[in-house]
Chain A
Amino acid sequence: MNMLTRGLATGVIALFAASGAMAEAADDNLVINGDIEIVTRTEAPAHLSDTMDEVMSGWLFRGEETRAMEADDFDNPGMIFVEQGEDTWNTAEGTEGKSCADCHGASSEMAGVRPVYPKYVEAAGEVRTLETQVNDCRENRMGAEKWGYTSGEMVNMIALLSSVSRGLPVNVAIDGPAQSTWEKGKEIYYTRFGQLELSCANCHEDNYGNMIRADHLSQGQINGFPTYRLKNNKLNAVQSRFKGCVRDTRAETFKPGSPEFVALELYVGSRGNGLSVEGPSVRN
């Protein structure tokens, strides 16, 4: 009996020690395939200078095994979906009988596109996400049907476009014609929603690094999207994650693709300016 009690006590201490160690962001470097160096922490962009000194990728807030999965494409389950996106890239569709590759060339030619989205598109007169641009191509250049905003095909395509930009710094423009949308996104970020009255900032700015029950709060950076989540075995679009977060505050959520979420994506994206594109990343 005595032995049992002691055994239990040791177990409890070990548990506390483990959770204590978890509360810090990991001190680790991410190099994918021994080749692509990923910036997972860097100086905060100028517009955040009053708020924080350093911005950190969500990768640093995950466990050792999860971090290791992202360091090798073979171990990263998200890469299966990138391959499926690559197949779609080369498949002709729609009334024009064109594939993405017919206009854009190889998918690797698209390196540098992901890091600047969402951005103001002159021809459309509005800030657009990469998803909106993909659907614009499908409708107007291919004569194909639009994909659902967070559908499997769409997420695979965004994962492909992210994967070819891995290692490049996120660099969304917040001034000029994008500024009003950016201000709107900022307002949403700091607005408390739902019965729990939580804003994005309450968790991801005031409490990153702390535990929220069993989970380790990150800064809520979106440089790693689309994200392969171990909890649902699939790639998750950034705006699906926004929806999940807002839902968790017990609020009516905005729809993925809505002007509110586009503005929020621009603002949250700008908070990660300087971090490397990581998608498809691996998270819990």
Chain B
Amino acid sequence: MATGVKPRVKVPKSAAAGETITIKTLISHKMESGQRKDSDGNLIPRSIINRFTCDFNDQNVVDIELDPAISTNPYLEFDATVPEAGTFKFTWYDDDGDIYEESKEIAIG
């Protein structure tokens, strides 16, 4: 069970119709690779965020698969074109089955 997990996103509050905006996301997560051993020599079980998606008004923007070599607190930045006002929905999928969600409204103007 991952503890201290907290998603954060940064999306402009408004954009012109058809404008390309930059979205930044960050989730605090230890991203335990499953390859390390503790002080007694036992393998520390893998615990990572394995998938991230972003949807805009139910249309997929990005769908990213994350692997164990990605370091702590994964930061993802990408561009998206905004055709209309709506809601960005962000979802992170944890190895342990937890799902973390965040959403941000964007207005046209």
Residues of A within 8 A of B (CB): 74-75, 77, 80, 83-84, 233
* Cβ–Cβ contact B71 & A74, under 8 A: no
Q: Which B residues are in CB contact (< 8 Å) with A233?
A: 71-72
A-B contact list, 13 entries, CB within 8 Å: A74-B8, A74-B10, A74-B24, A74-B26, A75-B24, A77-B73, A80-B26, A80-B28, A80-B73, A83-B6, A84-B4, A233-B71, A233-B72
Q: Which A residues are in CB contact (< 8 Å) with B28?
A: 80
Top-5 shortest CB links A-B: A74-B10, A80-B28, A74-B24, A80-B73, A233-B72
Q: Which A residues are in CB contact (< 8 Å) with B4?
A: 84
In chain B between 39 and 71, which residues have their CB closer than 8 angstroms to a CB of chain A? 71
Q: Which B residues are in CB contact (< 8 Å) with A74?
A: 8, 10, 24, 26
How near does chain B come to A80, taking the closest CB pair, in angstroms? 5
Specify the chain A residue showing the minimal Cβ separation from B71. A233
The B interface is mostly helix, strand or loop, or mixed, namely strand
Max chain B Cβ within 10 angstroms of own Cβ: one of A74, A75, A77, A233: A74
* Extra 10 A-B pairs, beta carbons < 8 Å, given A77-B73, A83-B6, A84-B4: A74-B8, A74-B10, A74-B24, A74-B26, A75-B24, A80-B26, A80-B28, A80-B73, A233-B71, A233-B72
How near does chain A come to B77, taking the closest CB pair, in angstroms? 9
In chain B between 1 and 18, which residues have their CB closer than 8 angstroms to a CB of chain A? 4, 6, 8, 10
How near does chain A come to B14, taking the closest CB pair, in angstroms? 16
How near does chain A come to B7, taking the closest CB pair, in angstroms? 12
Q: Which B residues are in CB contact (< 8 Å) with A84?
A: 4
Q: Which A residues are in CB contact (< 8 Å) with B8?
A: 74
Q: How far is the CA of A218 from the CA of B6 in the complex (A)?
A: 35
Q: How far is the CA of A233 from the CA of B30 in the complex (A)?
A: 12
Q: How far is the CA of A181 from the CA of B6 in the complex (A)?
A: 43
How near does chain B come to A76, taking the closest CB pair, in angstroms? 10
How near does chain B come to A179, taking the closest CB pair, in angstroms? 44
How near does chain A come to B21, taking the closest CB pair, in angstroms? 14
Specify the chain A residue showing the minimal Cβ separation from B27. A80
Q: How far is the CA of A233 from the CA of B71 in the complex (A)?
A: 10
Q: How far is the CA of A74 from the CA of B4 in the complex (A)?
A: 18
Q: Which B residues are in CB contact (< 8 Å) with A75?
A: 24
Specify the chain A residue showing the minimal Cβ separation from B4. A84
Specify the chain A residue showing the minimal Cβ separation from B28. A80
How near does chain A come to B76, taking the closest CB pair, in angstroms? 12
Q: How far is the CA of A74 from the CA of B23 in the complex (A)?
A: 11
How near does chain B come to A77, taking the closest CB pair, in angstroms? 7
Q: Which A residues are in CB contact (< 8 Å) with B10?
A: 74
How near does chain B come to A21, taking the closest CB pair, in angstroms? 27
Q: How far is the CA of A93 from the CA of B83 in the complex (A)?
A: 50
Q: How far is the CA of A134 from the CA of B72 in the complex (A)?
A: 28
How near does chain B come to A88, taking the closest CB pair, in angstroms? 12
How near does chain B come to A87, taking the closest CB pair, in angstroms? 9
Q: Which B residues are in CB contact (< 8 Å) with A80?
A: 26, 28, 73
Q: Which A residues are in CB contact (< 8 Å) with B71?
A: 233
Specify the chain B residue showing the minimal Cβ separation from A87. B4
Q: Which B residues are in CB contact (< 8 Å) with A77?
A: 73
Q: How far is the CA of A75 from the CA of B22 in the complex (A)?
A: 13
Q: Which B residues are in CB contact (< 8 Å) with A83?
A: 6
Q: How far is the CA of A74 from the CA of B73 in the complex (A)?
A: 12
How near does chain A come to B55, taking the closest CB pair, in angstroms? 21
